[in-house]
Structure 1
Amino acid sequence: MRHFIPFMAALLIGTPALAEPLHGIAMHGSPALPPDYKHFSYVNPDVKKGGKVAYGVVGTFDSLNPFVLKSMRTTARGLWDPIFGHLVYEPLMTRSSDEPFTLYGLLAESVEWDEGRSFIQFNLNPNAKWSDGEPVTADDVIFSFELLRDKGRIPFSNRLTPVEKMEKIGEHGVRFTFNDKADREFPLILATATPILPKHAIDPATFDQSTLRPPVGSGPYRVKSVSPGERIVYERNPDYWGKDIPSKVGFDNYEQVTVEYFLQENTLFEAFKKGEIDIYLEGSPTHWARAYDFPAVQNGDVVKDAFKPQLPTGMLGFVFNTRRPIFADVNVRAGLSLTFDFEWANKNLFEDAYTRTESFWQNSPLSSLGKPADEREIKILGTTRDRIEPAVLDGTYRLPRTDGSGADRKVLRESVELLKKGGYTIKNGRMSDASGRPLTFEVMTQTQDQEKLAITYQRTLKMIGIDMSIRTVDDAQYQARSGNFDYDVIVKSYPSSLSPGIEQMGRWGSSSRDKDGSFNFAGVADPDLDRLIEAMLTARSKEDFEATVRAYDRMLISGHYLVPLYHIAEQWVARRKHIGYPEALPLYGYQLNTWWDKRAQ
């Protein structure tokens, strides 16, 4: 017996400590909600389900598989959708919209991990079922990750890269053990950003092909009918397994959800005016101010709402494709960035509704704007600090304010000087390089608003001898060309959150530069940016994380990869009066999948 205790001690020393099952996990700190929470604070738990809603989108589709590239890029909205909700497919865990980055149980009722996040184990809810009544199993989870790795598009195909081992634990558990490519954010991405698919209902051999066959999912809705390129109708699954779990209470309140497709934004809006669409998400201040003087607004059938989320502004801009030699020099990009006259455009096009965006995380603690780099940031930057413009490093950086004339000579002179540093001078009225080749490029636009912006930019560029052309294309061409990086300059938006992470590799990381379908629209491949992204992903404390993001923000600003445009602090939504929503507004703003049809109450 005396040998038994030392033997057990040795055994325990060599065995990893058992992790405690958790109801939720957070990127930094702990979940705000306790294990016995009843529902999220921003839903109406007492709402009666019923009625219907019709959404509208610009685009088309030829497939009900949004996870592969062999289809038009505008695939079926609603199946797996960050705006309308994941109606058909579900992830293992769901994200709270009232915390920076916290997940709670969905298909997985609990989760386990260690302090170093070397593994994560998902314990499936034994009640989870597919829409055909079959149970959701651990084998389904493993199948989903392997199938998407082999046949899926980016980013789904990359999910298992940081995984050393994936194994079934007991009847309902799946454990992922990570290799040295995993960062501290990765377990959360694994949990919330990958759809779980039914092994029994999918043929791997044909998964990467376009299909219009209604899929089997675990979500609250099923596909009722499909009109390719025109319409998808979803109906509530009356046997939805998750309707009473805390993270789903107050969500998915319609009996029927319709997504209507339109070729142009103006035809979508006309359909909204006629009552064919119930909710219109507005993005144009001019349109918001001038276009809502129609009978349904006047008689109260249409209501305009403005929501104020507590989020970073993100970045919208004319993005330079640095794969093109003319944009390889940072001085050229900087000079071209100064030429856009925001003050003129804001006054003449946008009712003075916008504020100039000067940081990728403006209006948040993550922004470098107005903040000198502190000791923590300087240490994180290391020798990279030498690549950051002095004004950006000391917090005094601002884009120039023009006189609003559309022809501010002082600002245009600054632009010309920067272009001169990049090898261009004005010769015979044209901005040309040393060999006499003129500086010319094309801006590809998709909408009338983008075209108006491009015309404004075109006019001021012409004043310094630059010939910029504009090509407006339809949605299918836009998706194809942007996916293949077939453009000189493109108008793109980079949404920001309070918890930036692995998505930055897809936008600015070297590994995504040459991958078709990635979001690296600027074509950036910079080891210093890669290192800062890695530091962001491995930060242990909130202080280190925020300092790293600010340092990263400074590098992006100094790279002049785009012409920064503008933002507005509100979210604008117009709705039919029978559409209701909760009183509480979460951190991330309105959530359409918590709204309801008042006529069903």
Structure 2
Amino acid sequence: MAPVFFPRILAKTRAFLGLAGVLSALAAPPAMAEPMHGIAMYGDPALPSDFTALPHVNPDAPKGGRIVFAESGSYDSLHPVILKGRAPWQLRFMLFESLMGRSYDEPFTLYGLLAETVETPPDRSWVEFTLRPEARFSDGSPVTVEDVMWSYEVLGEKGHPRYAAAWDSVAAMEQTGPRSVRFTFNEEDRELPLIMGLRPILKKAQWEGLDFEASGIAVIPIGSSPYVIDDFETGRHLTLRRNPDYWGRDVPFMQGQANFDEIRFDYYGDGDVVFEAFKAGEASTYRETNAAKWATQYDFPAVARGDVVLSDIPHQRPTGMNGLVMNTRSDVFKDWRVREAMIRAFNFEFINQTLNGGTLPRIESYFDNSVLGMAVGEPAEGLVAELLAPFADDLLPGVIEGYAFPVSDGSERNRAGIAAAIDLMDEAGWTVQDGVMADADGNPFSFEIVVSQNATESRQIIDIYAAALGRIGITPKITALDSAAFTERTKGFDYDMMPYLWGLSLSPGNEQKLYWGSELADEEGSRNRMGVKSPAVDAMIDAILTSTSQEEFRAATKALDRLLTAGRYAIPIWYSNVSHVAHVKELRYPERLPMYGDWLGFQPEVWWWEE
């Protein structure tokens, strides 16, 4: 079959390669490749081609029942793949399917979902997917190559910025058969074939004549997933109903998944109200992130009767970074010595004791609690040191020789930390004058911390921290915002400091560009909240993406971990390698847990209802 290009794709291809180069590439014999049932970032998929179900599901789980979630905040849109509006985050994953599905029992492996096979050469310079002939949207219409190609183009050019980076790496997109599509890349990036397998596939015909970039509830998106939107009241509740005619009920990847007949989300004002709603029986499940609260506040009657079960779900994933992020776009935090002073003034041991009874460990680095984390406080060695060496002259202290967050004596006064903070501020040109931290002209050092009014725990942390900053003559402005205002301000980087969480995986890849890459640092909606622009960070991300062995991959990630941690961009708090989930006794989950634990793809995907 002759290659078929979308007009925009052809123009895009010319821009990247020149038309002659593209035609030459298409005429050249393909590199050795063969269709496969799955693809792994490194090595081969763990499951054979004739697998019948993922290892961490119950393929015999009964269908039926309902699960009800209580959510804080609100929503004003049902369009989850664009930047505008506030859509329930779950819709991005529960309305649309992708060509491949991810197994969360492996670091990064995909198996066929809408696509029955995936094909890529050893250098992964291109990837080809072949659709299953039975794939259907929820309205019964077939999922076609045209839908796939349109979805990739519209998401890359008009969708949320999270889709743009991978799309910019596509030199050509062509239909190679009645059910097959190939993407050829313009850069070396071994993760790109996997990323392309995970894009949501939309129905092209639904959006003809409509403004794809407009948010709202006028258009109810059509996907191919097991669920459709059944009922909703904007900002109040949303119900998804399992489609009895779901096309993929016999696909091996979907066995033991999508077991509930109904999934409902109810929205409340803040986190405290959400917990009370769960206690009152208005919700059937609740995730607790506060260890002290889990230990002391789950003795209510439903637990005592056995109607509510308390489940601990262990995991083996990196901690990520959770804490207070400093915005280096703001003048106050451009100097690393000021950022280090803020870290020294933060009395983690006292705050942890006050809020958690001292039970939770501190996050030591971005990839802590995993094989990808740096050696805390130790000098870089081996391949890690080699990767960092070209940038040595420009690196902050601690990157190569070793960095560790300070440890206080646990007392509220934190004498050593406060003294170190004052010395660092002095080095940066700030001194305490009549009890106020100020510069040589007497201008006070001040900054604003923005926080969502729903974030109860974050506000408690900030209040204790603000009292500590008062000991060095700094009085931060604390601004509590409703969810809409908080979202708008943080999207536009309008803050000096804010609480934030980056969740990281065992297989970091292109998303690292969105988190801390220079190219998207000033792109509205980017998750580069600290505004880091570092050639060394960019180089380590590239090294991750082009690694051909586990050794290279781990070294590049450890080097990135050093750069981010010693960059003093965030003040970390705590983590837990166990997720705490309270739920009604009728909700069940498999005994065999995925390595990612309570993560995407776990609840509600593999849970079920059983009397």
Q: Same fold (TM over 0.5)?
A: yes
Which residue of structure 1 lines up, in the alignment, with residue 572 of structure 2? 564
User: Which residue, out of 302, 327, 351, partners 1:321?
Assistant: 327
Report the residue type matching 2:256 in the other structure. G
Matches within 5 A, 1:329-368: 329-368=335-374
8 Å Cα contact 1:281/1:572 also seen in 2: yes
Structure 1 range deviating more: 111-120 or 298-307: 298-307
Q: CA deviation at 1:70?
A: 2.6
Verify: 1:539 aligned to 2:539, yes or no: no
Which residue of structure 2 lines up, in the alignment, with residue 8 of structure 1? none
8 Å Cα contact 1:366/1:550 also seen in 2: yes
Take 1:467 and 1:87, find their aligned partners in 2: how far apart are those partners? Answer: 44
How many residue pairs get matched?
578
Take 1:120 and 1:283, find their aligned partners in 2: how far apart are those partners? Answer: 40
Which residue of structure 2 lines up, in the alignment, with residue 468 of structure 1? 476
Take 1:68 and 1:264, find their aligned partners in 2: how far apart are those partners? Answer: 25
Verify: 1:232 aligned to 2:246, yes or no: no
Verify: 1:270 aligned to 2:276, yes or no: yes
Secondary structure in 2 aligned to 1:232? strand
User: Which residue, out of 531, 535, 543, partners 1:523?
Assistant: 531
Which residue of structure 2 lines up, in the alignment, with residue 245 of structure 1? 251
Matches within 5 A, 1:194-593: 194-203=199-208, 205-212=210-217, 213-370=219-376, 371-388=378-395, 391-395=398-402, 397-446=403-452, 447-590=455-598, 591-592=602-603, 593=605
Secondary structure in 2 aligned to 1:45? coil
Which residue of structure 2 lines up, in the alignment, with residue 62 of structure 1? 76
1:289-315 deviation per Cα after TM superposition (whole angstroms, max 9, x unaligned): 222221111111111111110111111
Take 1:243 and 1:99, find their aligned partners in 2: how far apart are those partners? Answer: 23
1:168-192 deviation per Cα after TM superposition (whole angstroms, max 9, x unaligned): 1111000001112x51112211111
Q: CA deviation at 1:227?
A: 0.7
8 Å Cα contact 1:78/1:259 also seen in 2: no
Q: CA deviation at 1:528?
A: 1.8
Take 1:483 and 1:263, find their aligned partners in 2: how far apart are those partners? Answer: 21
CA distance 1:472–1:296, shift in 2 (3 Å): same
Take 2:477 and 2:296, find their aligned partners in 1: how far apart are those partners? Answer: 29
CA distance 1:14–1:65, shift in 2 (3 Å): closer
User: Which residue, out of 135, 140, 144, partners 2:147?
Assistant: 140
Matches within 5 A, 1:135-214: 135-180=142-187, 182-192=188-198, 194-203=199-208, 205-212=210-217, 213-214=219-220
1:146-176 deviation per Cα after TM superposition (whole angstroms, max 9, x unaligned): 1112321211244320011101111100000
Q: CA deviation at 1:542?
A: 0.7
1:132-156 deviation per Cα after TM superposition (whole angstroms, max 9, x unaligned): 1111011100010111123212112
Take 1:536 and 1:166, find their aligned partners in 2: how far apart are those partners? Answer: 25
CA distance 1:363–1:158, shift in 2 (3 Å): closer
8 Å Cα contact 1:356/1:564 also seen in 2: yes
Take 2:64 and 2:29, find their aligned partners in 1: how far apart are those partners? Answer: 52
Matches within 5 A, 1:23-42: 23-42=37-56
Take 1:485 and 1:391, find their aligned partners in 2: how far apart are those partners? Answer: 27
8 Å Cα contact 1:113/1:121 also seen in 2: yes
CA distance 1:126–1:17, shift in 2 (3 Å): same
Which residue of structure 1 lines up, in the alignment, with residue 131 of structure 2? 124
8 Å Cα contact 1:198/1:217 also seen in 2: yes
Take 1:456 and 1:36, find their aligned partners in 2: how far apart are those partners? Answer: 56
Structure 1 range deviating more: 287-296 or 341-350: 287-296
Normalising by structure 2, we get a TM-score of: 0.92
Report the residue type matching 1:58 in the other structure. S
Q: CA deviation at 1:14?
A: 5.2
Take 1:443 and 1:369, find their aligned partners in 2: how far apart are those partners? Answer: 31
Take 2:164 and 2:77, find their aligned partners in 1: how far apart are those partners? Answer: 19
8 Å Cα contact 2:398/2:566 also seen in 1: no
Take 1:386 and 1:306, find their aligned partners in 2: how far apart are those partners? Answer: 46
Take 2:291 and 2:409, find their aligned partners in 1: how far apart are those partners? Answer: 22
Report the residue type matching 2:584 in the other structure. R
8 Å Cα contact 2:337/2:425 also seen in 1: yes
Report the residue type matching 1:71 in the other structure. G
Take 2:171 and 2:398, find their aligned partners in 1: how far apart are those partners? Answer: 44
Which residue of structure 1 lines up, in the alignment, with residue 610 of structure 2? 598
Report the residue type matching 1:66 in the other structure. P
Q: CA deviation at 1:17?
A: 3.4
Secondary structure in 1 aligned to 2:519? helix
Take 1:154 and 1:342, find their aligned partners in 2: how far apart are those partners? Answer: 34
Take 2:367 and 2:225, find their aligned partners in 1: how far apart are those partners? Answer: 33
Report the residue type matching 1:134 in the other structure. S
Q: CA deviation at 1:215?
A: 2.2
Take 2:210 and 2:241, find their aligned partners in 1: how far apart are those partners? Answer: 29
Q: CA deviation at 1:503?
A: 1.1
Q: CA deviation at 1:87?
A: 2.3
Which residue of structure 2 lines up, in the alignment, with residue 98 of structure 1? 105
8 Å Cα contact 2:397/2:566 also seen in 1: no
Which residue of structure 1 lines up, in the alignment, with residue 62 of structure 2? 48
Unmatched segments (≥5 aa) in structure 2: 1-26
Q: CA deviation at 1:567?
A: 1.1
What's the % identity of the aligned pairs? 41
8 Å Cα contact 2:170/2:186 also seen in 1: yes
Take 1:483 and 1:71, find their aligned partners in 2: how far apart are those partners? Answer: 11
CA distance 1:211–1:472, shift in 2 (3 Å): closer
Secondary structure in 1 aligned to 2:476? strand
Take 1:318 and 1:77, find their aligned partners in 2: how far apart are those partners? Answer: 23
Take 1:364 and 1:520, find their aligned partners in 2: how far apart are those partners? Answer: 22
Report the residue type matching 2:216 in the other structure. T
1:18-75 deviation per Cα after TM superposition (whole angstroms, max 9, x unaligned): 5200111111111111111111111001111011111121121111101122313xx1
